[in-house]
Structure 1
Amino acid sequence: MRYKLEKVPQRPGMSWRHKHQLAPAGIIEPHYHQEFELNLHLRCQGQIQLGQYQGELQEHHLILIPPHMPHAVYHQNPAPSRQAELHSIWFKKEWITNMIFSCVELRKMDYLLKKSDKGILFSSQTARWVHQRLSQLDYSSSSIQQLAVLIDIIAILCQDKTAITLAPISSDTLAKQQDENKNKIDRLCAYLEKNYAENITLSQVSRHLYISESSLHRLFQRHFGESFSQHLTKVRLSHAARLLETTNLRVGCIAETVGYRNQANFNRKFKGYKQLTPREYREKHQS
């Protein structure tokens, strides 16, 4: 699955950002940030996905998400009498690391950030304390006073002895896996583009990529949402469509060029793909 990088707008003159939403609803699509993200869900109903972890939102749900950790939230509409809230805080890893290095008082935060590599769920009591502190945040005050609220919240997080990690795999491991999968996808696409006209099989492609057939099948399903044969057919027919648009080659010749030895079979598959016969498609696009 591909995850979207979501950019966090920076406030001028500020090193961190806070966002407050009332009655959040709907789906927050899978994405990731380059920053740490602290999410406080109040009276929310729904599910949260963090890497390979999935869980239900609690009455007071406070979670710290590390950079590059894919996550998604599925909010359900709560009862009208229970207005849900979502507080989000973002801060950069480099900023907090420099703060920890310069301030001995923040050294406890170093352990917390290392532990957060798999995501941290804090206790409901910690969530209440953080909410109480956020309610005192005054945007009309100076940037230093606002920063003091964040430092206080960090101190509250460090005092939670019952906080637990969530995802079975760290964000660094997920990033490495995504890089490996991207490399495999790039090699796979290059191989198909070069050999799509040949009678290639899943077994041949798996040997080329040095992975098992079952792993390759899962790669197709996760990345393309379809089987090897379905994807190969789309690659072939996409090339056929381009040839129909840009050349005057006979339909039978185009069929052979993209790997079909039987023109009737090619015509049937092309119409299923484009809802037009090859000749109809050519007439429409060349006119």
Structure 2
Amino acid sequence: MKAAFEHVDFGRDCSVRVYHRRLARIPFEWHHHPEYELTLTMNSQGKRYIGDCVASYGADDLVLVPPHLPHTWASNRSIDAAHPQVAIVVWFDGAWLRRLADVCPEYNGLCDLLRRAACGLAFEHGAGSRMREHLDRLLSDKPRERLQAALDVLDLLSELPATPLASPSAFAARAGAPTGHEPDRINRVLALIETQFAHPLRLSALAKASGLSERSLTRHFTQHLGESVGHYVTRVRIGHACRMLTDTHAPISVIATRSGFPNVANFNRQFKAAKDMTPVEFRQQFALARRAEDEMSPALTERSPSLQRRRKEADGKRSSQPSRAGPRSA
């Protein structure tokens, strides 16, 4: 199941797009885009799919998704059935945010936030409530006020704990690629893992590539990435396997081999330890969600309300200024 590409239209002279989405149910819409996405989901409960991470979510769920990492939320039931489900979505380009941090040291924390978000982040309980305090400004009719509100929220989140979501290399190579924020020696190891994960990887070979001893590599790797070399390699392999499970119909044995596992039994064991389900169950999760959505999908001539794509030139018209319940750009 290939993720659909979403074009995010920021509007003229705007650097942030804010989308106020209200609906009875959140459909399964597996997609990706080149922008960062911060999503606050309110009065909603269901499952969210961020790369290869499948998890249940509830009230005031707050997640930051990096560029090109496929994702979707899916919910058929509001927490309060008398009111619609609400999602506040903020899209932005990380390039200008990094430039801002370069010239304004007050925003140095934003670079660290983007680095932490390489595999997606789910913020601790309570972060969503703190973002809600900024909603009036985020939904303002004034672009500058929306921009300032978005910066304030991101600056706030840069100081809060959050849990990484997807595995490195899950669905998008850049999720596990060197970020430039680790020392050059560690980046060389990451690059080698990224290209050679399907083959046996010995610590001695990785240490040689880094120019460090095995002991020093182990220490520096854990210091900069927060996990051991072996655990990281396994997560990269699991991430690649998840991509094949959702994007292809390849047999489990083929996926195991191409992901660097010595045999199917080892693959099944390590996959279940990492995902709390077997590879077959993981594939079924996506297939069932997709099938359920297809059965409820509108006609092909109707556009999904969440994927704002370029209008065809023949339309000859641009979207009118949205109401408070519609998308806003800043």
Q: TM-score, normalised by structure 1?
A: 0.58
Q: Is the 8 A contact 2:63 2:123 kept in 1?
A: yes
The residue number in structure 2 matching 1:163 is 162
Per the alignment, residue 82 of structure 2 pairs with: 81
Distance in 1 (alpha carbons) for counterparts of 2:147 and 2:244: 47
Shift of the 138–73 alpha-carbon distance from structure 1 to 2, 3 Å rule, reads: closer
Question: Who is 1:151 aligned against?
Answer: 151
Instruction: Report the 3-state secondary structure (helix = DSSP H, G, I; strand = E; otherwise coil) of the residue aligned with 1:107.
Output: helix
Which residue of the partner structure matches residue 93 of structure 1?
94
Distance in 2 of aligned mates of 1:220 and 1:152: 38
Aligned positions of 1:24-43 closer than 5 A: 24-43=24-43
Please report how far the alpha carbon of residue 96 of structure 1 lies from its aligned counterpart in structure 2 after TM superposition: 1.3
User: How many Å apart are 1:223 and its aligned residue?
Assistant: 4.8
Distance 1:138 1:62, change over 3 A: closer
**CA contact 2:26–2:76 (8 Å) conserved in 1:** yes
Deviations 1:16-58 (A, max 9, x none): 1000011352423211110000000012111000111011122
State the Cα deviation string for residues 108-154 of structure 1 (Å, max 9, x = none).
1111100100111112311111111023335333x322221111111
User: For residues 112 and 38 of structure 1, what CA distance do their matches in structure 2 show?
Assistant: 12
Distance (Å, rounded) in 1 between the aligned partners of 2:64 and 2:126: 15
Higher Cα Rg, which structure? 1
Please state which structure has a larger fraction of its residues in helix.
Answer: 1
Q: Compared with structure 1, are the counterparts of its residues 225 and 16 closer, same or farther at alpha carbon in structure 2 (3 Å cutoff)?
A: same
Question: Which residue in 2 is equivalent to 1:265?
Answer: none
SS in 1 for 2:126: helix
Q: Give a deviation string over 1:154-174, Cα, whole Å, max 9, x none.
A: 1211121x2111112254356
Distance 1:67 1:138, change over 3 A: closer
* Secondary structure of 2:40's aligned partner: strand
- The aligned counterpart of 2:49 is 49
C-alpha separation in 2, matches of 1:224 and 1:84: 32
Distance 1:144 1:43, change over 3 A: same
- Change in CA separation of 1:222 and 1:52 when aligned onto 2, cut-off 3 Å: closer
Number of aligned residue pairs: 189
Asked if 1:133 is matched to 2:134, the reply is yes
Separation in 2, partners of 1:128, 1:50? 21
Contiguous gaps of at least 5 residues in structure 2: 178-193, 196-241, 252-330
Q: Residues 18 and 138 of structure 2 are in contact (CA less than 8 Å); yes or no, is this contact kept in structure 1? A: no
5 Å matches for 1:111-130? 111-130=112-131
The percent of aligned pairs where both chains have the same amino acid is 22
Give, in whole Å, the separation in 2 of the partners of 1:11 and 1:135.
Answer: 20
Closer/same/farther in 2, CA of residues 111 and 24 from structure 1, 3 Å limit: farther
* Secondary structure in 2 matching 1:155: helix
SS at match of 2:132: helix
Equivalent position SS for 1:28: coil
Does the C-alpha gap of structure 1 residues 163 and 219 become closer, same or farther in structure 2, counting only changes over 3 Å?
closer
Within a 5 Å distance, the mapping from 1:1-287 to structure 2 comes to 1-78=1-78, 79-137=80-138, 139-141=140-142, 143-160=143-160, 162-170=161-169, 171-173=172-174, 223=247, 225=249
- Does the C-alpha gap of structure 1 residues 81 and 73 become closer, same or farther in structure 2, counting only changes over 3 Å? same
Classify the secondary structure of the residue corresponding to 1:105: helix
Contact 1:118 1:165 in 2 (8 A): yes
Q: Is the 8 A contact 1:24 1:75 kept in 2?
A: no
**TM-score between both structures, scaled by the size of structure 2:** 0.51
Asked whether the 8 Å contact 1:36–1:90 carries over to 2, the reply is: yes
Structure 2: distance between partners of 1:101 and 1:24: 42
3-state secondary structure, aligned to 2:18: strand
Q: Could you say what secondary structure the match of 2:149 adopts? A: helix
Structure 1: stretches of 5+ with no match in the other structure: 181-217, 228-287
Shift of 1:222: 5.5
